[in-house]
Every structure is written in C-alpha cells, then in structure tokens.
Amino acid sequence: MDVLIKNATVYTLNGENDPVEAIGITGNRISQIGRTDELIEYVSDTTLVIDGKDLTAIPGFIDSHTHFLDMGVKKVLYLDLEEASSKSELLELLDSYARDNPDRTWILGNNWDESTWKGDGSFPTKWELNEVVSDRPVALQRVDCHTYCVNSKALELLDLDPSTRGAETSSGELTGCLSEDAALAVSKEIAPTRDEMVKGLKEAQKEAHSLGVTGIHQMVIDDGEFRDYFNAYQSLLQRGDLNLRCRLYFTGNYLDDFLNLGIKTGFGNDRLKIGGLKIFTDGSIGSKTAWISDGYRDNSDNTGISMMETEKLKNLVARAHKNNIQVAIHAIGDRAMTQAIDSLQTAINSHDIPDYVPPHRIEHCEMATDGQIERMAELGIIASMQPNFTGKWGLPGGMYEDRFDRDKLSELNMLGRFQDQGVQLSFGSDGMPFGPLYGLHWAVNSPFESQKLSPKEALKAYTSGSAYAGGLEGKVGSIEVGKYADIALLNGDPVENPDLIKDLEVELTIVGGDIVFTRKEY
C-alpha cells in the first residue's frame, strides 16, 4: 500500500456501504476500502498515511462541460470584469487596465454580467467603449461566452457584414454588440498562440486541482478550436504534465477527418481521449439568443436564434451515430430541445451502434419541458447540466426573471424532474463559475422542488454521472477497488450538512494516486 487515508468519512457513491472510513491506494489504483483498523494492517514503512479526521473523502469531481483551456487563457490574457457592479464601473476598470497595459495590441476582457449591475443594464456599445479606448481594438466577452461587445477599432479589423447572424445594428450601423456567428468572428481574430494556450492550460489545471476536479470534458465553440486545443493538451501530455483526465469534443467541420481515419469516441489514453461531436442548435438566455417559443420579456417577437437547419442537424447526428461517435448537442430553449431530441431519436431508431459508445447527450437543457424530459428518458439521452446556473441566475430577482417572468423560474433547470424520470444527469460548470461545490450547493438547496436533488444524487451527477457521460464509469466516478485513485478530501460533510456545501473547501486532491493539491504537507 502506497497511501492510506484513515479516520475519514468516505462516500464511495457506489451504491453500498456508505460511509466507510479508510481508503488504501497502491500505484494509481484504489486497492482497499473499509475500516481504519482493517486497512492499517497493510501499512509499511513507505506508506504515506493521511489522517482524515474531520474530513470527507469523495470521488474526484468530473466537470462534464467546461471551456477549460479558454478559462486558463483568460486568466493570463484578459481583464476579469466579474466584479463590475455597473456599466460605469466596467468602463472605469477598462480605462485603468488599458492605461496599465500600453503594449497590449488588443484590450480583452471577460466575465461581465449586466444582470448583476445597478442602474443601466444595457450591453456596452461601441460608442461607450470608444469614449474609454479608441486607439486600440477592445473586445469584452459576456460571462456566457455568446456575446462580445467591441469598439470601433475592433469593428474596423473585423470588417463584419452588418447582416452577419448575431450582429446588432441601429439604423443599419453596427452597434458593437456581437452574438453567436458575429461573436465567433471575434474569437477567430483574437485566437491565442500555442504558447499562450499551454500556459493557460497549466493555470486552469492548477485551479481545477484546488477545487477537487480530477477530470474535465473540454467543449469547443469555434470551428478551428479543436485542432489548436488538442495540440496544447497533447503538448502537456508529452511532457508528463497533464494531471487530469481530459476528454475533448470537436466541431462538425472535423467529422469527415475522424471518419476517414476511423477514429471513434474514446480513442486515447487514461489522460487524454477523444470525446465526440459538439453541435450548437441555439444561443443562450443571457444573450437572448436561446431558441424559444414564447419570446423574451422585453420583446415577445424575439424568439432567439436557430443555429442549424434541421436536415443538416439530422445528417450530422446520423453520420456520427452510425460511426461510433458520441454526439453532444447544445440546446437551451424549448424549440432547440425539440430539434435536438428529434434528431437524436431519428438516428437512434435508424442505426444500431456495433461498438460501445457512451449514450448521446444534450448540453444545458435549461428550458426542457416535462414532455421533453420524458422523451430523453425513453431514448436514454444524457442530460449534461449546470446546477450553478440556478444560483447565478435562477433565484428570484435574477437574470432569468429579467428575461422571462418570476413564475417561469421553477420551470428552468428542472434537475429534480430529470432525476425522477430516470434521465442520467451529468454535471458540469460551463465555467460560470468553475468549481463543483457552488453548483452542488444549488442542486441541493434550490428554492424550487422541481430543481432539487438529494446531496448524494447531486454528488453522483458530478462524479459517476460525468464518468458515465464520458464512457469511463468502469474506471472512475466512484471509490471502488480497482478504479483509478481519483479522490477529493473536503473539510466538511456535504451529505450531513447540505446547507453549508458552498462554504466547503477542498483540503487535498489525488489523481491516479498522486497528490496534486494539498493545503498542508503530509
């Protein structure tokens, strides 16, 4: 035995014997589970003994939907605007940052969220940004990553056609508020270098370890991202520095390449694997581009944006399905959900998959109806959801209420309904914010019954549920003999004290038997 965790409260989440109090690790695997007095007999002079008194051990968290590399790059290159409490404060922060960084070619910012601002809650326009910075291009990305607000200098470089989908205009003139396709044009223009990606990935990995995250599913947005991101991940892997279990998804423009090479979902090793095909069907609620039936509160004629024609979507899904490639469809609005489920149903009913592939998944499912949830259960589709959205936007007075009405709040992010209908839940953060404990707290402590899970149900969605969504349920996601030793130690018990989950901290994180984060030396 190389490592013994003793005297802890251990939630194995394997459906039996919870809690136990000790875990033995040999090499990169869990070798024993049981009582401390039983496992102490296996200790040798070289065994590292960790006293888990007052600590809770759980399987390492797996964030099944995150823009992980992007998060790290933004820590390195962007001005973080999360703390801006008003538009005027955002502009002040921008002014100060631009003055402090005179050598920056682009002034980049992210994480602003107008739904938390006091006073004027409109998106910043090019005219407002020009007043602060006019000599260099500015691009400020909204927290949901679906909208950039840019100044005139940036628009000059982008040379966008005002008819581009998602480009806001006033009297035929671009305002500088760019969503969806127009926002993708910004992303391509400011794409980081490979060195910046590698540096950002290291930063993101460090943060993940501090939050008990041992695995991630890297999602992509832009058509060119997968190639560059895969190279960055591969660079860390080859150096021996990739200390997470990573699963990378790709956009539709790469599908032919994968089919021609015969590469299927799951190709790779225990640290880096191919995930599947990521497809967008709509935008986001925050950017008012989620594809919905009834329109938004401030404009009932705006029903959002449909990002893909139905026949094209069905064709992509069918080709991936019959070639053993998992499909992950971004769908938020109820109309997008219908389109996604219809496309998956057509493929599932038309083609058997000869080899094992994890079930297909729908990302977000924020506005799924009861009928849609039932259909997902019947088809075995995974609901890849973000419980943190409830705490961030779904409480009374929050952004969801601004976009719709208060009586709509309980009908969004209905985690409890998914659980009751038998849909497999898989939790991720989408980086808003990154960190499982915040999301777990709101999955358990939502004010609405339709959204609530028990503490163990929520923990499973962020561990074994995400492992299942990634096809690794036999290797990670629970604390069982023979599985990889991916473990997080918390400074409290989320099952016994669910009201305090968001205040818990991770004391130690283990990936494959190696301690990758600790608050004290052992």
The structure tokens 């992010």 sit at 413
Helix (H) or strand (E) holding 91: helix 87-100
pLDDT of residue 221: 81
pLDDT of residue 357: 81
Under 8 Å between Cβ of 335 and 291? yes
Task: For residue range 264-314, list pLDDT tens digits in order.
Answer: 999 999 999 999 999 999 999 999 999 999 999 999 999 999 999 999 999
Instruction: Report residue 199: phi and psi, to 5°.
Output: -65, -40
pLDDT of residue 518: 97
DSSP string, 205-222: HHHHHHTTEEEEEE---S
Give Cα 330 distance to the centre of its chain: 12
Predicted model pTM = 0.93
The structure tokens 């949830």 sit at 373
Instruction: Report residue 119: phi and psi, to 5°.
Output: 75, -135
β-bridge mates for residue 150, sequence order: 139
* Strand 382-385 to 425-427 pairing: parallel
pLDDT of residue 354: 63
Low-confidence ranges of the chain (pLDDT < 70): 353-354
pLDDT of residue 194: 92
What is the Cα–Cα distance from 358 to 343, expressed in whole angstroms?
A: 17
What is the Cα–Cα distance from 278 to 364, expressed in whole angstroms?
A: 13
- Tokens of residue 67, six digits: 């823009």
pLDDT of residue 519: 95
Task: For residue range 341-355, list pLDDT tens digits in order.
Answer: 999 999 999 877 667
What is the Cα–Cα distance from 180 to 148, expressed in whole angstroms?
A: 9
